[in-house]
Structure 1
Amino acid sequence: MRPKSVILGERLSFLAMLLLLVLAVLGWNDTVAQAGAAIAVIANGLLIGLFLLATLLVTRMASRGGLVFLAILTVLNLLGFLYQVSEGALAQGLFGVLTSVQAAASLVAVVMLMRPNAMAWYRTMAEVSEA
């Protein structure tokens, strides 16, 4: 049975991915104007796909490597967010609010997935798979 922190971390991670998708749709025209449609599809699809892969590895397969990968993706996401804030480039209005909520949701998700009961579950699942 998965601990509550893993379940909540998974849900928050899926919320962050949903917000990434919404932000991709809202910013589609600007992204296409700057980089082209192919790059926009590849970049957004790759980002969401990597977050999805890492989340599923952690929450369904109890992968510590997946957790490290998800943490790295989250740190890179937060660094990009903080850079936007520091440069005054964070969008105004709904886009800026959703960007902030997405960054917070991804951070809290990783924190929940690193709680002691989640770490104990990862260890237990590793022992079960070795047996």
Structure 2
Amino acid sequence: MRPKSVILGERLSLLAILLLVVLAALGWNDTVAQAGVGIAIFANVLLIGLFLLATLWTTRLASRIGLGLLIVMTVLNLLGFLYQVSVGALAEGMFGVLTAVQAAASLVAVVMLLRPNALAWYRAKAEENEA
């Protein structure tokens, strides 16, 4: 049975992914104007797909590789968010608020997935798979 921290981490990560979808939709016209339709589709599908894949690997299969990927992607996401804040480029209005909430949700999700009971669950699942 999955620990509560893994379940909460999964839910927060899925919330962050849902917010990525909303942000992609809200920023679609700007992204297409800057990069074109093909790159906009590729970038959004890749980002959202990798976050979803890493979340499901981590929370459903107890994958340490998935957890590592999720940590790396969350750190990169947070660095991008903090860079936007530091140079004053964070969007105003609802887009900026959703960006901040998305970054916070993904950070808290990873923190929940790194709690001691979650780490013990990953270890126990790894031992089960080895046996």
TM-score by length of structure 2 reads: 0.99
What's 2:38 paired with?
38
Does residue 17 of structure 2 align to residue 13 of structure 1? no
What's 1:50 paired with?
50
SS at match of 1:66: helix
Post-superposition offset of 1:42? 0.4
What's 1:100 paired with?
100
Query: What is the number of equivalent residue pairs in this alignment?
Result: 131
What's 1:111 paired with?
111
Post-superposition offset of 1:32? 0.4
Unpaired stretches in structure 1, ≥5 consecutive residues = none
Unpaired stretches in structure 2, ≥5 consecutive residues = none
Post-superposition offset of 1:65? 1.3
CA RMSD of aligned residues (A): 0.4
Aligned AA for 1:65? I
Aligned AA for 2:39? I
What's 2:80 paired with?
80
Aligned AA for 1:56? L
Aligned AA for 2:49? G
Post-superposition offset of 1:100? 0.1
Q: Deviations over 1:51-76 (max 9, x none)?
A: 01100110011011111110000000
Could you list the structure 1 runs, at least 4 aligned residues long, displaced by more than 6 angstroms after superposition: none
Post-superposition offset of 1:104? 0.1
Distance 2:65 2:38 in 1: 30
Aligned AA for 1:120? A
What's 2:25 paired with?
25
Aligned AA for 1:16? A
SS at match of 1:88: coil
Percent same amino acid among aligned pairs?
A: 79
Post-superposition offset of 1:14? 0.3
Aligned AA for 1:46? L
Aligned AA for 1:27? G
